[in-house]
Structure 1
Amino acid sequence: MDRMCAMIMQNRATKEVHHNLSVSQLVEKALERNEGTLASTGALCALTGKYTGRSPKDKFIVDEPSVTEHIAWGNVNQPISEEVFDKLHAKVQLYMVDKELFVFDGYAGADPAYRLPIRVINEYAWHNLFVHQLFVRPTESELAAHIPEFTVISMPGFKSNPILDGTNSEAFICVSFDKKIVLIGGTEYAGEMKKSIFSILNYLLPFNQVMPMHCSANVGTKGDTALFFGLSGTGKTTLSADPNRHLIGDDEHGWSNQGVFNFEGGCYAKCIGLSEEKEPQIWQAIRHGAVLENVVLDAETGVADYNSNALTENTRAAYPIDYIDGAMIPGVAGHPNVIIFLTADAFGVLPPISRLTKEQAMYHFLSGYTSKLAGTERGVTEPEATFSTCFGSPFLPLNPNVYANMLGEKIDQHGARVYLVNTGWTGGPYGIGKRMSLAYTRAMVSAAIDGSIENSSFVHDPIFNLSCPTQITGVPAEVLIPQNTWEDKQAYCDKAMDLAKRFVDNFKKFTHVNDEIVAAGPNIVA
């Protein structure tokens, strides 16, 4: 990879390669190149064109001898041949020759024992600012000794030809584990760079006895660690940014034999509907050095309109984790005491919080039920019920049982309590009910973390086979039992049975799962 960079630099006449520019330099470059505009807070706002979310159908893994028997090939992990990758790589290299380039060297992983040295090469200054803020930034001495193990080459201006290049569209995200290269083209959505590295860690770390997790994490003043699993839009970032606790990270972590560590050095928050009142820490983090994606700004004042979805529902803010007051630097903590599974149930029938046994935890982890929220992926315009294995199916190269078994083992080893929390709809399905109050969800999560939830009596949900508390301070009792929030009780039962059947049907795809885990799911006649 270094030889490739050297070759490109030798062949360029007037263009430059900028290595590890500062935040201010990258902001200046982005403005100079008309890549974005400044918001009133000093954050850089950029637009990503037609790709305003991830493009999962355009993601590929090179089918190479070293990985072919380990990858769970399918619709998520689509294979391409080495020949196709090499030809595409050569075209991208030619495209880069006359471009001004920006290079970031850093790490994925806050724990030095497990971190992955990475390099990211961008044609956009704002993309390089994004990765500078999202990944772990090296010290001067670390930078001097830095040798990248994986390199991400992101050239949004290069659009592939599906007929000639073996892709599905003009966009592509291709990972080669043998060559240790990620090729990204045709899409300006910056999240593809972040998630490609996450996918790589999800492949590598289990071989090193580390469980990779699509979760946020925080820690209390007494050292009690909490994890929040969930897909985009379920509340990981919002709920982990708690002024009474220290943020470890908002999206991606590893669980080693020593404890939990953040994969990243920054946060990537959805900001549709963002307000200072509801999410003060995120609000205050959007300042100079932060990157806004597809947020509408007032043309006169530069004030962000976080309520506008004119460009996409998936508006985003990226900022370094030290912009959050009291964040853990570095992002390393002990073993978790509490694990929260977050789901945004568009049916409006799952309990707002329920206590899980280990077997139930493994069942719901494998199921990964939620609703894809509008804008997170291309083509999603309203919530869609979905099952995303391990709450992160798009990023998991290995068989799901690998991750689920690691979770079960760690729950046994460390005695973590596990809860399922519905941040979705209550009182009816999407379009009839309303989204669960954030204040109620915070109260329920706080009760789970501090243990006060265990002082409540619990009732058994006969359809979903879940144990639900009947009282939590700050939450109306009727909210805790979803049927009580529906006017039409028969409609609730019908919708609940519909979802329960979906759980059962989805779980049939998992093989080599023991009977105790299967029995931990909903109680219906299959």
Structure 2
Amino acid sequence: MKMDLIGASDDLKFLLSGENVRMQLSVPQLMEKIIERKEAVLTTEGAISAATGKYTGRSPKDKFIVVDSESKDRVDWGKINQPVSPGVFNRLYEKMVRHLKGKDEIFVFKGFAGADPKSRLPIQTVNEFAWHNLFAHQLFIRPDAEELYQHDAQFTILSAPLFKADPALDGTHSEAFIMISLERRIILIGGTEYAGEMKKSIFSIMNYLLPQKGILPMHCSANTGKNGDTALFFGLSGTGKTTLSADPERALIGDDEHGWSDSGVFNIEGGCYAKCIGLTEEKEPQIYQAIRFGTVLENVVVDPVSRKPQYDNNALTENTRAAYPIENIGNIARSGMAGHPSTIIFLTADASGVLPPISRLTKEQAMYHFLSGYTSKLAGTERGVTRPEAVFSTCFGAPFLPLEPAVYAEMLGEKVDRHNVQVFLVNTGWTGGPYGTGSRMKLSDTRAMVRAAINGKLKDTETRQDDIFGLHIPVHIEGVSDDVLYPADTWTDKQAYREKAFELAARFKENFRQFSVPDDIEKLGGPLI
């Protein structure tokens, strides 16, 4: 197996040549290590369940990008892409290498990001925890023997949860840090046990690299039908990407991250990272049945005697997760690739309860809502979030976009135009009132509406236009009660509805002021008020 590393220093090569390195362990080997090291507990399904301590979600305020010759003039610097000097990065890097070198064991996984061989990125993770290495094994694309022999990692993650930064000395905001050096092609993750930081760091890298190849990176799930019709589902964590794309009638391409090239759509990952709070076999059979031997459960409470997962227990966090290889889903596109999409779904969990459960978007509305990326950040998806918070996340993935938003929006608009894609806005949030008063949209209704959109039944259906947001709402959808479709009809207090709707419309307009786009996108795509 080749050990050369593009962009790595001699320190990293020295680290990877140590006797404490456990290279490319199999799933059974990693499971044995996890139990032996008491990092997690074994469940009745043969999964392992690990607790991540106080960090039960991502820590966006602790994420930095090094300002260097590679990043200086390309990265969209600001609150999301926080700059840090090479000196700060180098000192932390040297400390982490010493920390890992002193461990009895460290674990290395080599794999890929990107199912399309023409654009995939060879990566590796160096982990302090065996269960983090298993997570990487399940979430990224696993190489075969020949690919492993030829593997030259172009980005490396060093993950050391037990190495905590000292903000006064190390230039961080807290003990936790996620630092990306695009020039050295190294990512440092320390002070947090939340494994999702590895996944999203690599996604950030792909969001930086792929546009340079004319490929649109997307925070979305994707599936394809028997006739080759592909659908994309955009949305933040908790809005239903994984749930709605896991359709037994359609082959899953991937559940969270994709690229859209001139050849079509491809999965960036090799696994799924599903939310599992309240998971039942009845509601989500594909996800429930995918949790088996080798699955990594995060912060799922397990009965100490029976070792049965308690999916309805949120004692640790609402953001409970299951990481498993995509092959655990029965109906998948095994190549991880498919043709150009015919349907795009923008998912939003509207805590205001005023957006319709589904609306058909014009081209201008599609661009407006893609740039807006409105949703409600749900409890547990980030540290400190305990109830839904209204947010605008550009392109439904602002935390992972190193480049200016217009780069991604222009690429999407061009591809939607070229391939004549139908776009819909779907609200999986609240109806009949805001959070605390109304109720969450029924999953069965949402599924029926999404299937109608994907099957082309809403392409020419009769609609009525909402007088506040300008959205085109279907008058009738088979299998869904008509009075569910128009949000004003679901509120008892009509005046309260209009006040809340005007409030949200004003927030849309205020947020959109940050974008420099053609006037018709704002005038024809946004609220009418």
Q: TM-score, normalised by structure 1?
A: 0.98
1:44 aligns with 2:48: yes
- 1:42 and 1:520 map into 2 onto residues whose CA distance is 53
- 1:126 and 1:279 map into 2 onto residues whose CA distance is 25
Give the letter aligned to residue 73 of structure 1: W
Q: 1:254 to 1:9 in 2, by over 3 A?
A: closer
Could you list the runs of 5+ residues in structure 1 that have no partner in the other structure?
Answer: none
Give the letter aligned to residue 8 of structure 1: L
Q: What's 1:494 paired with?
A: 499
Q: What's 2:123 paired with?
A: 118
Q: What's 1:338 paired with?
A: 343
SS in 2 for 1:377: coil
Q: 2:390 aligns with which of 381, 385, 401?
A: 385
Give 1:17-416 correspondences, 5 Å limit: 17-99=21-103, 100-416=105-421
Give the letter aligned to residue 249 of structure 1: G
Q: Per-residue deviation at 1:4?
A: 2.8
SS in 1 for 2:449: helix
Q: What's 1:480 paired with?
A: 485
- 1:387 and 1:285 map into 2 onto residues whose CA distance is 32
SS in 1 for 2:375: strand
Q: Per-residue deviation at 1:474?
A: 1.1
SS in 2 for 1:342: strand
Q: Per-residue deviation at 1:5?
A: 4.0
Q: Per-residue deviation at 1:6?
A: 4.0
SS in 2 for 1:496: helix
- 1:7 and 1:333 map into 2 onto residues whose CA distance is 41
Q: What's 1:439 paired with?
A: 444
Q: Which moved more, 1:455-464 or 1:47-56?
A: 455-464
- 2:64 and 2:526 map into 1 onto residues whose CA distance is 34
- 1:385 and 1:136 map into 2 onto residues whose CA distance is 34
Give the letter aligned to residue 96 of structure 2: V
Give the letter aligned to residue 164 of structure 1: L
Give the letter aligned to residue 115 of structure 2: A
Q: Which moved more, 1:395-404 or 1:449-458?
A: 449-458
SS in 2 for 1:253: strand
| Per-residue Cα deviation, 1:16-43 (whole angstroms, up to 9, x for no partner) | 2111000010011000000000111111
Structure 1 runs (4+) greater than 3 angstroms displaced? 521-525
Contact 1:133-1:319 within 8 A present in 2 as well: yes
Q: Per-residue deviation at 1:9?
A: 5.8
- 2:102 and 2:96 map into 1 onto residues whose CA distance is 11
Give the letter aligned to residue 47 of structure 2: A
- 2:381 and 2:527 map into 1 onto residues whose CA distance is 32
- 2:264 and 2:362 map into 1 onto residues whose CA distance is 21
Q: 1:8 aligns with which of 15, 29, 32?
A: 15
Q: Per-residue deviation at 1:118?
A: 0.2
Give the letter aligned to residue 121 of structure 1: V
Q: Per-residue deviation at 1:291?
A: 0.5
Backbone CA RMSD of aligned residues:
1.0
Q: Per-residue deviation at 1:7?
A: 2.0
Contact 1:390-1:400 within 8 A present in 2 as well: yes
| Per-residue Cα deviation, 1:435-461 (whole angstroms, up to 9, x for no partner) | 000000000000000011235310001
SS in 2 for 1:292: strand
- 2:286 and 2:320 map into 1 onto residues whose CA distance is 17
| Per-residue Cα deviation, 1:400-425 (whole angstroms, up to 9, x for no partner) | 00000001000111011000000000
| Per-residue Cα deviation, 1:139-192 (whole angstroms, up to 9, x for no partner) | 100000000000000000100000100000000000000000000000000000
Q: 1:504 to 1:37 in 2, by over 3 A?
A: same
Contact 2:352-2:504 within 8 A present in 1 as well: yes
Contact 1:501-1:524 within 8 A present in 2 as well: no
Q: Per-residue deviation at 1:462?
A: 1.1
Q: Per-residue deviation at 1:522?
A: 3.6
Contact 2:467-2:528 within 8 A present in 1 as well: no
Contact 2:508-2:527 within 8 A present in 1 as well: no
Q: Per-residue deviation at 1:524?
A: 4.7
1:420 aligns with 2:425: yes
Q: 1:9 to 1:371 in 2, by over 3 A?
A: closer
Q: Per-residue deviation at 1:3?
A: 3.6
1:515 aligns with 2:522: no
| Per-residue Cα deviation, 1:495-521 (whole angstroms, up to 9, x for no partner) | 00000000000000112x001111134
- 2:221 and 2:512 map into 1 onto residues whose CA distance is 25
SS in 1 for 2:180: strand
| Per-residue Cα deviation, 1:103-154 (whole angstroms, up to 9, x for no partner) | 0000000000010000100010000000000000001000000000000000
Give the letter aligned to residue 4 of structure 1: D
- 2:390 and 2:73 map into 1 onto residues whose CA distance is 31
- 1:115 and 1:360 map into 2 onto residues whose CA distance is 32
Contact 1:253-1:263 within 8 A present in 2 as well: yes
Contact 1:503-1:521 within 8 A present in 2 as well: no
- 1:337 and 1:133 map into 2 onto residues whose CA distance is 29
Percent identity for Structure 1 against Structure 2: 64
Give the letter aligned to residue 71 of structure 1: V
- 1:65 and 1:3 map into 2 onto residues whose CA distance is 21
Q: 1:378 to 1:397 in 2, by over 3 A?
A: same
- 1:33 and 1:362 map into 2 onto residues whose CA distance is 50
- 2:240 and 2:127 map into 1 onto residues whose CA distance is 30
Q: 1:137 to 1:424 in 2, by over 3 A?
A: same
Aligned residues: 521
SS in 2 for 1:50: coil
| Per-residue Cα deviation, 1:378-397 (whole angstroms, up to 9, x for no partner) | 00000000100000000000
Q: What's 2:456 paired with?
A: 451
- 1:117 and 1:8 map into 2 onto residues whose CA distance is 19
SS in 2 for 1:91: helix
Contact 2:366-2:525 within 8 A present in 1 as well: no
- 1:347 and 1:329 map into 2 onto residues whose CA distance is 39
Q: What's 1:469 paired with?
A: 474
Contact 2:51-2:299 within 8 A present in 1 as well: yes
SS in 2 for 1:304: coil
- 1:520 and 1:102 map into 2 onto residues whose CA distance is 53
Q: TM-score, normalised by structure 2?
A: 0.97
Give the letter aligned to residue 38 of structure 2: N
- 1:501 and 1:441 map into 2 onto residues whose CA distance is 27
- 1:45 and 1:110 map into 2 onto residues whose CA distance is 28
Give the letter aligned to residue 440 of structure 1: D
Q: Per-residue deviation at 1:66?
A: 1.8
- 1:455 and 1:212 map into 2 onto residues whose CA distance is 30
